[in-house]
């Protein structure tokens, strides 16, 4: 039996702090509310997520990868969140669905998307050539115009070669950034912002989007453009390998889940299991998801499960947070918190060094002599 004093001592060991929040006012800042009022349940996990991202993942020695799934850019989160985070140096590399990049392009080209409401008559929308993504609506012409942009751009000589998705998106971002500058529309596209900041943007499933569909059509025309997903595997692994060398750290911020989540986390098994290099897993794992773990799906898989695959360093499990919340709620709050709490970081410009980093990984693999 434990004594009352031992009971109190145990309580103090497991207590973060006593629950005694201040009363909210109209002058309470977002950062203050997150720190002092978001105390328990998923509000508490969001607080932990914001604090982990800002105090540890934004350390100068940590390379931050962000994965994006779900229809984030149609809801304006590219403009409101991703561009400011990129411009502040808070994102070093990205893995996104192709759909997020495709819809991001609408904004760069000056096409409008509109807030509406769920439950609209989809037959009426179809008759009026209106596309719906839940409560976001826009004209069908946006799709046709964006398709035409990609086909015209990618027929150009600069694209007539084999590229990784990061190399492809960097080249597209170059043209989008120039278009933004010409039309005084800076800050509308996260792909353009990534190009300006030298941030690689990968797509884990390059054929699974309207961009991939248009590139497939160009292939039927005889285009020499080829997307090499195996180059993506080596380049993303090279980024993480470089991050962990010289006592550096790697942090992954997973917005949603899906294929981008796996592609980011598989960099560690690629380094350890396949290439046979000494490594122990990502240092920081932060996920915002609405997927449950008990269905066995990847999107809901926990950091402790990822640890069994070598994806997360088992010594760093305390530095993992999973927040079960809609990404469209969590991402703006985390963005405001980080921008308020942390000064901008110098950009790592990994895109500028991607070829060098991949060569270094290749040399390390060759030196270890792993052939079996």
Do 223 and 155 meet the contact criterion of CB atoms below 8 Å apart?
yes
Do 21 and 37 meet the contact criterion of CB atoms below 8 Å apart?
yes
Q: State the SS3 of 297-317.
A: CHHHCCHHHHHHCCCECHHHH
Our answer to whether residue 261 is catalytic in this structure is no
Do 310 and 268 meet the contact criterion of CB atoms below 8 Å apart?
yes
Sheet containing 130-133: give its strands across: 114-115, 136-139, 130-133
DSSP string, 91-103: -SEEEE-HHHHHH
| Residues 6+ positions from 63 with CB-CB distance below 8 Å | 92, 93, 239, 240, 242, 243, 248, 249, 250, 251, 348, 350
Residue 269 structure tokens:
């098994």
Distance CA 64, CA 206 (A): 22
Among the listed residues 135, 83, 137, the one whose alpha carbon sits nearest the alpha carbon of residue 114: 137
| Residues 6+ positions from 148 with CB-CB distance below 8 Å | none
Q: Strands 114-115, 136-139: parallel, antiparallel or unpaired by DSSP?
A: antiparallel
Q: Which of 174, 244, 261, 311 is catalytic?
A: 311
Distance CA 126, CA 201 (A): 33
Q: Strands 249-255, 62-68: parallel, antiparallel or unpaired by DSSP?
A: parallel
Do 254 and 219 meet the contact criterion of CB atoms below 8 Å apart?
no
The gap from C-alpha 275 to its chain's centroid, in whole angstroms, comes to 25
Task: Give the 3-state secondary structure of residue 7.
Answer: helix
Active-site annotation, residues: 311
């Amino acid at each position: 039996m434990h004594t009352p004093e031992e009971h109190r001592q145990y309580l103090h060991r497991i207590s973060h702090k006593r629950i005694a929040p201040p009363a909210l006012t109209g002058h309470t800042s977002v950062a203050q509310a997150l720190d002092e009022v978001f105390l328990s349940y998923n509000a508490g996990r969001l607080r932990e997520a914001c604090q982990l991202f800002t105090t540890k993942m934004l350390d100068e020695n940590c390379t931050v990868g962000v994965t994006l799934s779900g229809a984030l850019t149609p809801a304006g989160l590219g403009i409101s969140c991703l561009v400011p985070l990129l411009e502040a140096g808070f994102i070093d590399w990205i893995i996104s669905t192709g759909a997020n990049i495709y819809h991001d392009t609408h904004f760069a080209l000056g096409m409008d998307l509109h807030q509406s409401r769920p439950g609209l008559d989809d037959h009426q929308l179809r008759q009026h050539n209106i596309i719906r993504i839940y409560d976001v609506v826009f004209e069908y012409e946006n799709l046709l115009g964006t398709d035409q942009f990609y086909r015209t751009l990618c027929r150009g000589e600069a694209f007539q070669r084999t590229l990784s998705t990061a190399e492809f998106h960097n080249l597209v971002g170059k043209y989008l950034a120039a278009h933004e500058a010409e039309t005084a529309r800076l800050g509308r596209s996260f792909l353009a912002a990534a190009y300006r900041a030298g941030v690689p943007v990968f797509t884990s499933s390059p054929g699974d989007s309207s961009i991939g569909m248009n590139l497939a059509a160009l292939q039927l025309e005889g285009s020499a453009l080829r997307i090499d997903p195996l180059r993506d595997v080596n380049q993303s692994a090279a980024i993480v390998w470089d991050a962990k060398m010289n006592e550096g750290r790697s942090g992954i911020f997973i917005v949603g889940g899906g294929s981008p989540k796996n592609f980011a986390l598989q960099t560690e098994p690629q380094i350890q299991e396949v290439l046979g290099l000494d490594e122990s897993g990502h240092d920081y794992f932060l996920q915002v998801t609405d997927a449950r773990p008990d269905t066995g799906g990847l999107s809901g898989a926990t950091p402790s499960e990822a640890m069994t695959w070598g994806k997360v360093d088992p010594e760093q499990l305390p530095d993992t947070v999973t927040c079960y919340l809609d990404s469209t709620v969590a991402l703006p709050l985390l963005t405001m918190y980080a921008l308020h709490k942390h000064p901008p970081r110098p950009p790592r410009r990994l895109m500028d060094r991607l070829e060098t980093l991949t060569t270094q990984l290749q040399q390390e693999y060759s030196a270890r002599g792993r052939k079996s």
